[in-house]
Amino acid sequence: MTSDRDPIQILIDEFRRLPGIGSKSAQRLVFYLLKEADEASNQLAEAILGLKAGLQLCSQCNNVTDKNPCRLCQDPNRDPKTICVVEEPFNVLSIEKSGGYRGRYHVLHGVISPINGVGPEDLKLKNLLERLADETVEEIIVATNPTAEGEATALYLSRLIKPLGLKVSRIASGIPVGSDIEYADSVTLSTALAGRRSL
């Protein structure tokens, strides 16, 4: 049946199931690719095929990578004294883009969420504890999302790691830079007030 379908419609349907792409965007993408040179659209297809071909989780930080250990774990210029703990691999990318962090990472691949049946045993904590046994680590920055699940995970990690004599910190929550106090929701505003720092 597939062979009889229109190749244009097949690709429109494929694009449409991706997040954030509706039927008009999908149509636009397909006709853009149609006008393009063959090599350019083949490059896109090869990049998709190549995405998972060589990818694995880094044995140290659990980030998705094509090399083990990953580029970030191998980079000698990164500070081995701090580990930033995040929920998902794409959080690493966001923090890297911000340029505000030069230490190591650890990806949990989830957060504690009793409602979804996710407990601490489902998170990638085993190799985190192994890394902490190493004497060079001094501080753990918990950068899970400021949601109920993210906070619960942060609390759990803090109780787990503090007894080992390490510093555990949490990224700041508050009013986003450039936004207006007037439009901040009340939980964010009270968090920002509670988290005030002296000038």
CB of 166 to a copy of itself, least distance (A): 30
Q: Is 27 in the site for a copy of itself (CB under 8 A)?
A: yes
Neighbours of 92 (CB within 10 A): 22
CA nearest to 95, candidates 143, 38, 43: 143
Residue type, 181: I
Strands in the chain per DSSP E:
56-57, 64-65, 79-86, 103-107, 139-142, 167-170
Contact window for a copy of itself (CB under 8 A) among 88-96, 151-159, 168-176, 182-190: 88-96
Contact residue for a copy of itself among 1, 19, 77, 165 (CB under 8 A): 19
Q: Is 45 in the site for a copy of itself (CB under 8 A)?
A: yes
Q: How far apart are CA 72 and CA 85, in angstroms?
A: 14
Q: Is 52 in the site for a copy of itself (CB under 8 A)?
A: yes
Neighbours of 196 (CB within 10 A): 8
Contact residue for a copy of itself among 74, 77, 89, 178 (CB under 8 A): 89
Contact window for a copy of itself (CB under 8 A) among 7-15, 75-83, 148-156, 178-186: 7-15
CA nearest to 84, candidates 60, 64, 111, 102: 102
CB of 111 to a copy of itself, least distance (A): 15
| 3-state DSSP assignment of residue 80 | strand
Within positions 65 to 84, which residues make up the interface with a copy of itself, using CB under 8 A? 65-66, 71
Contact window for a copy of itself (CB under 8 A) among 31-39, 123-131, 145-153, 180-188: 31-39
CB of 117 to a copy of itself, least distance (A): 18
Exposure b/e, 96-127, CB count within 10 A at least 16 = b? eeeeebebbbbbbebbbbeeeeeeeeebebee
Tokens representing residue 77 in the block? 């210029």
CB of 66 to a copy of itself, least distance (A): 5
CB of 119 to a copy of itself, least distance (A): 20
Tell me which residues touch a copy of itself (CB under 8 A). Answer: 6-8, 10-11, 13-15, 18-21, 25, 27-34, 38, 41-55, 64-66, 71, 88-90, 93
